[in-house]
Amino acid sequence: MAIHVDRENRVFTIHTAHSTYQFMAGPYGFLLHLYYGKRIDHQSLEYLIQRKDWASFSSNPGDAGGDRTFSLDTLPLEYPTAGTGDCRISAAAALDEDGAAALDPRYKDFEIRRGKYALPGLPALYEAEPGEAETLAVVLEDPVSRLELELLYGVFAEKDIITRAVVFTNRSGKNLRLTRALSAGVDFLYGDFDLVHFHGRHMMERQIARVPAAPGIQTVSSARGTSSHQHNPGVILCEKDAGEDYGDCYGFNLVYSGSFAAQVEQDQTGQTRLVMGVDYGGFTFLLAGGERFTTPELVMCHSGGGFAALSHRYHRIYRHNLCRGDWKLARRPVLINNWEATYFRFDGPKLIQIAEAAAGLGLDLLVMDDGWFGARDDDNRGLGDWFPNEEKLGMSLGTLVEEVNKRGLKFGIWFEPEMVNEESGLYRAHPDWVLRLPGRDPVRGRGQLALDMSRQDTRDYLFERISAVLDSARVEYVKWDMNRSLSDWYSPLLPADRQGELPHRYVLGLYDLLERLTRKYPRVLFEGCSGGGGRFDPGMLFYHPQIWCSDNTDAIDRLKIQYGTSFFYPVSAVGSHVSVVPNHGTGRTTPLATRCIAAMAGTFGFEMDLTRMDDAERAEAARWTAEFKKYQPLIHGGAYYRLLSPFERRGAPGNAGVTAWEFVSPDKTQALLCAAAGEIRANPLNIHIRLKGLDENRLYRLGEALYTGAALMYGGFALPGFRGDYPARVFFFEGA
């Protein structure tokens, strides 16, 4: 059993293979957090709490009477709520019918359940194998408002993962209103932490920031209606000296695709609190008697061995217990997408030409991107009219797919279902289906408006139209795009006192539509996209086993983007393509080999007009396609190690800025070392890399040379000198 309860002392302990999480129902029924960190057996950590009168304007609950040593403003709490004397950041807040703002839940009961809990209407981790998870449910209730909180803990003990979620239930006959409902809070009694988060912008997502957790409140958040390019819903708290291979690290990743917040506060006592969950300006959720609100899931992981172990645990749990369907562990097709090849200027014969060229390179799938439907010749018209434009294509969709299939390729297609142009039949028929504030001009993004995904009729239309397209031809891949931040939060179907629920209801509606479609078409590979990486989050991975990592296809920029992505997300989820040079986003020219090596740290594909390649380029592209297919099981199924960071300069000034990463097979018989130089200087210093994850007693062959695993890991490997513009190399080590 991973969950242990000391009923007499009301201490709850969760063990995973390498970590322990502990809290207790303390005096007066308040839940006190005791510990999260390296595994500790057979010990209550209650002794760590030192109660005293802080004489610091920290008040005491009424139950405590004259005891000034018991203050919710200074004690470590398991799920902090507002209005109880705790002046720090809270995880939940509520209003009763009188407008009184207090939420004072007390311990009521608990239950241990076999298996992993599910969250109706929300994505969450699940058991891939029977018996690999347990659930702890701890029930609290506010005795005055009768708002019940069920704190859910999912435990994947062997995978070192704990999940958190909360179910709020109104047990009274009166209306209650949630004004804050986050998924979890964790209090650390002591420690000097850094906060690591992943910020950016469109075409430069998931750049790494590492800052001290200082006194005060630090917030990482998105209010864009999506998890966003600007801030990913994953943060890490770590020791000051933590690195890839050493130090305590705590990961927190929200399984949600809408607006969110992660807040970290170092308080007056030196404690550090983290809370995380759904958050946006104006969040409210009305609960009538008997109604429930369920938070999204937060996936937590502790590593005592640095960032690499933390990442491996997230990669493993997401590949096996978050991604679903026929494609979750299957070999992904190597594809050609026509977007950067043609943009809107294409027809059926042009796509067939590209398919013929792709077949000659050994590719598996042609994807027809934006521009195939309605009056869609630019990005100002046509969205919402999901009818193939046979006049533009010069043939029916079915005929086009058949012709592509004859060339030996599967066929995929692009949709942007959540958006609509005002120049469209859908908008003219249903202008009330969009998010739009009454009496005001709409806010537009990329010339488009957002459909109200909280509406059943909107979702039904999209389900019917997408199904009609997928049923009309042998479509085996769907790219699901979404190209703007959301605003104008108003729906005519919601009363005034429920408009604050709309951003969350939008996400729930999106998940409902995705669930219907992915269940109906289990053999279709769905790839998520939001202008690239604007919705690269665990929530979307539940429906899309791969996500387009960034609209930036420049190989050198991708080194940073994919490096930051790797902290939480597995390589098999990272959509990455080889594009033309000079690159359309940066104007940079990089060698084809470098572009291919960068794209191999993902799903691999091409985003260019293959018909314009010369013979030498075709031969090289075919060679790298074959190389990727050879190594794909190792790349997608192996352990990923970050060796040299693109965010750091190694060696003395003037040395080449090299990025290096490695894949190691589960049985440690194979390793693939990849390295790319972001810049080259004259007379560079030598660069030595220590490989990781090998069997130190095994011999590994590289060409004619033999090395022991111990030599490669502790002595290192000398990279051959790099010359030219942006060179890259791969080195395959195989057990001898």
Q: Annotated catalytic residue: which of 194, 279, 481, 537?
A: 537
- Residue 470: name the closest of 388, 392, 404 by CA: 388
Share of the chain above pLDDT 90, in %: 93
Q: Annotated catalytic residue: which of 132, 617, 627, 679?
A: 617
Instruction: Give the Cα separation of 435 and 260 in Å (integer).
Output: 20
Taking only the tens place, the pLDDT of each residue in 414-430 is 999 999 999 999 999 99
Taking only the tens place, the pLDDT of each residue in 613-639 is 999 999 999 999 999 999 999 999 999
Please state the rounded mean pLDDT for residues 67-74: 92
- Residue 353: name the closest of 608, 611, 622 by CA: 611
Taking only the tens place, the pLDDT of each residue in 480-498 is 999 999 999 999 999 999 9
At 315 the pLDDT is 98
β-sheet bridge partners, residue 20: 15, 37
Q: What is the mean pLDDT of the chain?
A: 96
- Residue 661: name the closest of 589, 583, 600 by CA: 600
Give kind and range of the element (H or E) at residue 34.
Answer: strand 31-38
CATH number of 3-321: 2.70.98.60
Record the tokens describing residue 109, joined without a space.
Answer: 């009961």
Tell me which DSSP letter residue 477 carries: E
640-735 and 335-637 share a CATH fold: no
Taking only the tens place, the pLDDT of each residue in 8-56 is 999 999 999 999 999 999 999 999 999 999 999 999 999 999 888 876 7
Residue 653 has pLDDT above 60, yes or no: no
Record the tokens describing residue 554, joined without a space.
Answer: 């420049």
Could you give the C-alpha distances from 370 to 343, 387, 449, 462, in angstroms and in order? Answer: 7, 13, 17, 17
Please count the helices (runs of H) and the strands (runs of E) in the chain: 13, 40
At 657 the pLDDT is 84
Record the tokens describing residue 322, joined without a space.
Answer: 């978050």
At 656 the pLDDT is 58
| φ and ψ at residue 323, rounded to 5 degrees | -65, 150
Task: Give the contacts of 103 (CB within 8 A, at least 6 positions apart).
Answer: 81, 82, 83, 84, 92, 93, 94, 142, 145, 147
Taking only the tens place, the pLDDT of each residue in 227-269 is 999 999 999 999 999 999 999 999 999 999 999 999 999 999 9
β-sheet bridge partners, residue 77: 32
Tell me which DSSP letter residue 373 carries: B
CATH number of 335-637: 3.20.20.70
Instruction: Give the Cα separation of 346 and 609 in Å (integer).
Output: 11
Taking only the tens place, the pLDDT of each residue in 353-405 is 999 999 999 999 999 999 999 999 999 999 999 999 999 999 999 999 999 99
Asked about 617 being catalytic, the answer comes back as yes
Task: Give the contacts of 546 (CB within 8 A, at least 6 positions apart).
Answer: 327, 332, 525, 527, 528, 572, 573, 574, 575, 603
Orientation angle between helical segments 348-361 and 615-637, nearest 10 degrees:
70
- 640-735: CATH class: mainly beta
Radius of gyration of the chain (CA): 27
At 594 the pLDDT is 98
Sign of CA dihedral 354, 359, 362, 368: positive
Could you give the C-alpha distances from 321 to 6, 162, 183, 316, 395, in angstroms and in order? Answer: 30, 13, 19, 8, 42
Task: Give the contacts of 619 (CB within 8 A, at least 6 positions apart).
Answer: none
Taking only the tens place, the pLDDT of each residue in 111-153 is 999 999 999 999 999 999 999 999 999 999 999 999 999 999 9
Domain ranges of the chain: 3-321, 335-637, 640-735
Tell me which DSSP letter residue 223 carries: -
Asked about 370 being catalytic, the answer comes back as no
Taking only the tens place, the pLDDT of each residue in 295-314 is 999 999 999 999 999 999 99
